[in-house]
């Protein structure tokens, strides 16, 4: 895949698929935030899928003001605040009125590392963006980005990057979720197993 292709944005059709398909296929794609004229970017290496009324771990298990964004349209950023201290970034998925979103849990930082380090208080690079709150802090993503169209927005988007082969992907249950046994055990966490991560 050439340089121009790897920097092409993901299309609406990409997001408007079944949520677990999107969660798996986001691995290796490049999350970009243009902050103060600088690209802060990294390759997505860990995701989790969340759906609707069949998923007790999901915000959309009950339709509320907060979870309304998960009902579409696809391709929007769903940013929420957790534990009174961290923002988390999701990409909205599915078609029609079906709710779904993919939590971006970690990235491999590539561009704008000095600024990311400053935003995070200069932790070791191995810990810079290895959690959903950490990646939002490093990339300066916050509540003001909730609802942004990842397909068209000039400042926050996901590029094609390079898809990850199945042999390099670990599939597990999601981390720290609540709900019934099915919600806790669904294999909806996808991790790109990268050496020296």
Q: Are 72 and 17 in contact (CB under 8 A)?
A: no
pLDDT at 20 over 90: yes
Look at residue 109 and tell me if it is in a domain: yes
pLDDT at 196 over 90: no
Radius of gyration of the chain measured on its C-alpha atoms: 16
Residues 6+ apart with CB under 8 A from 24: 47, 169, 171, 190
Domain with 171 in it: what CATH number? 3.10.300.10
Identify which has the larger pLDDT, 40 or 194: 40
User: How many domains, in total, are found in the chain?
Assistant: 1
Look at residue 197 and tell me if it is in a domain: no
Q: Which residues span the domain enclosing 167?
A: 3-192
> How do residues 117-158 score in pLDDT, each as one tens digit?
999 999 999 999 999 999 999 999 999 999 999 999 999 999
């Amino acid at each position: 895949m050439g340089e121009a292709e790897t920097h092409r944005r993901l299309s609406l059709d990409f997001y408007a698929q079944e949520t677990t398909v999107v969660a798996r296929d986001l691995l290796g794609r490049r999350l970009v935030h243009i902050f103060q004229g600088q690209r802060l970017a990294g390759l997505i290496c860990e995701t989790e899928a969340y759906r609707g009324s069949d998923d007790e771990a999901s915000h959309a298990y009950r339709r509320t003001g907060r979870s309304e964004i998960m009902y579409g349209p696809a391709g929007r950023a769903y940013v929420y605040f957790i534990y009174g201290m961290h923002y988390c970034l999701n990409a909205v998925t599915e078609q029609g009125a079906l709710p779904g979103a993919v939590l971006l849990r970690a990235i491999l930082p590539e561009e704008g590392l000095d600024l990311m380090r400053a935003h995070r208080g200069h932790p070791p690079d191995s810990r810079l963006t290895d959690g959903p709150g950490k990646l939002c802090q490093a990339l300066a993503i916050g509540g003001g980005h909730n609802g942004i169209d990842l397909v068209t927005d000039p400042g926050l988007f996901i590029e094609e990057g390079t898809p990850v082969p199945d042999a390099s992907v670990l599939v597990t249950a999601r981390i720290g979720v609540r709900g019934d046994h099915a919600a806790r055990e669904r294999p909806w966490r996808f991790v790109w197993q990268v050496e020296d991560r």
